[in-house]
Structure 1
Amino acid sequence: MKLFALAAGLAAGLPIVCLSATAQADENRVVIELFTSQGCSSCPPADELLERLAERDDVLPLALHVDYWDYIGWADSFARPEHTRRQKAYARIAGSRSIYTPQMIIGGVEQIVGTRPMEVADAVMRHVQQGPAIDLDVERDGDTLRIMSDTPATARGPLLVQLVRYMPHQVVEIGRGENAGRTLTYTNIVTEWSILAEWTGAEPLDLSAEVPGPDAVAVIVQKAGNGRILAAADLR
């Protein structure tokens, strides 16, 4: 019943939940990475699904635009080669020799075709039920971000503390390629994904980072080597 309700929510949309100036990961926000492209004709339904997911308060959906479809007539204005490299790293872990769009990675470990809302709902529910492995606190004061956590009970390193910047919403008119003539809406478009620190988990975490500019901010703690995502919090 819970799974059906979640899937219905993905299909119909839910009320937007406002975030305060301080984010905590104790609600276990499940990270969903969508690998997508403006030049991919199969991607708009997945982009729309990500937009609906962004209205939920139990997930952190992020769009990583890849560059390997740029050659077919339209260069994706959000594409970054590092997104392609990240997707390839996930593919190697899964033993796959190829990558594709649209693809969703749930919690760093489950790989799903991005146009299958029931499978996405099922995966999200599994990760929500697991509960967070790390209690992560993130606070922002102007352009300074502070990230804190007590020593986790079970998680041990190497753990990567990652900073993600993203644009919550953009509308793009596609001039050429497979989506020529369409006006498409994109949500939570990743503009930066960087590693702030490597953490063993054997001691409390307390670090700061400068985050100038208007883009939204998220912090993700993930096992090294594109492993499981253990905690996530975001601020807008």
Structure 2
Amino acid sequence: MTVSAYCLAFALSGLMGAACLASAGKTQAGELNGVVELFTSQGCASCPPADAELARLAKRDDVLALSYHVDYWNYLGWVDTLSSRANTERQYGYARTLKRNNVYTPQAVINGQDHANGAEGDTIAELLGRLAASGNGLTVPVSASRSPDGLSIAVGSGEGKANIVAVYFTDESTVKIERGENAGQTVTYHHAVEALETVGMWGGEAVTLKLPASVMSARPGRGCAILLQQVGHDGAPGRILGAALIEPETPA
């Protein structure tokens, strides 16, 4: 694998669900206009500007920003402390959906339908606007809320079929990178995905789900995103129809 602005990788594998841990926090639902998923690595010299852009997006109220740390840079001398094989498999799934022969970092996938260099904020904004204007934005209302009894998810009516996916992430993770292309840097990563799991299915009619309190965890700094996402016959992730965010609980 050559070290360049884009990291290419060529192994394909299927999506794998991960154990879904829980979060607590303020609910923000029905206000999102788009989802940006960044595929990044602590070992990629081109990624810090994209990580900074993702941090900026994570502070917006109208965009759901998630960061997936991939593991195919790990052999270059620094093992990304936030990386997982599941994150890499999700990116390869998007490669199939987008009809690409390879993957790269930093790649930002927009609403599951298009992609751009994750550092190019203007391009990401243009894609979000273009998808919304063409009717391919977040068109199905999704909301989520937490209570002592568990996590409640409500999906409105619409057209099509999709999976209801819970994505758990760490709000902020500060890492001192000791080796690799970013050796010597200390970077704070935002909304780094820990796990995701399909928790239900949607067939166009309004549906309400509730996850039991036993899956909830009150650990400060953990957030939860709900994605209403179409999935291909091969399990590859596709268009995101709706989304909601439960922000992390802040320490007392």
TM-score for the superposition, normalised by structure 2: 0.80
Matched residue, 2:145? 139
Structure-2 change in CA distance of 1:204 and 1:80 (3 Å)? same
2:229 alignment partner, one of 219, 222, 229 = 222
The structural deviation recorded for 1:30 is 1.0
Structure-2 change in CA distance of 1:117 and 1:23 (3 Å)? closer
2:166 maps to 1:178: no
Q: Secondary structure at the match of 2:227?
A: strand
The structural deviation recorded for 1:128 is 4.3
Identity, % of aligned pairs? Answer: 39
Unaligned runs of at least 5 residues, structure 1: 1-19
Matched residue, 2:27? 22
Q: Secondary structure at the match of 1:68?
A: coil
- 1:114-135 deviations in Å (ceiling 9; x for gaps): 1222211101222444453211
- Please identify which structure carries the higher helix content: 1
* Aligned partner letter, 1:91: A
2:102 maps to 1:63: no
The structural deviation recorded for 1:151 is 2.5
The structural deviation recorded for 1:21 is 3.3
Cα contact 2:224–2:246 (8 A) shared by 1: yes
Matched residue, 1:8? none
Root-mean-square deviation (Å):
1.6
* Aligned partner letter, 2:231: A
The structural deviation recorded for 1:224 is 1.4
Greater relative contact order, per chain length (Cα 8 Å cut-off, separation 6+)? 2
In structure 1, distance between residues paired with 2:132 and 2:152: 25
Aligned residues: 212
Q: Secondary structure at the match of 1:189?
A: strand
- 1:25-51 deviations in Å (ceiling 9; x for gaps): 2x2331100000001111000000111
Matched residue, 1:3? none
- 1:63-92 deviations in Å (ceiling 9; x for gaps): 000000000000001001011111111111
Matched residue, 2:118? 114
Matched residue, 2:5? none
Moved over 4 A (4+): none
In structure 1, distance between residues paired with 2:127 and 2:149: 35
In structure 2, distance between residues paired with 1:126 and 1:111: 13
2:96 alignment partner, one of 84, 92, 97 = 92
Structure-2 change in CA distance of 1:231 and 1:77 (3 Å)? same
Unaligned runs of at least 5 residues, structure 2: 1-24, 248-252
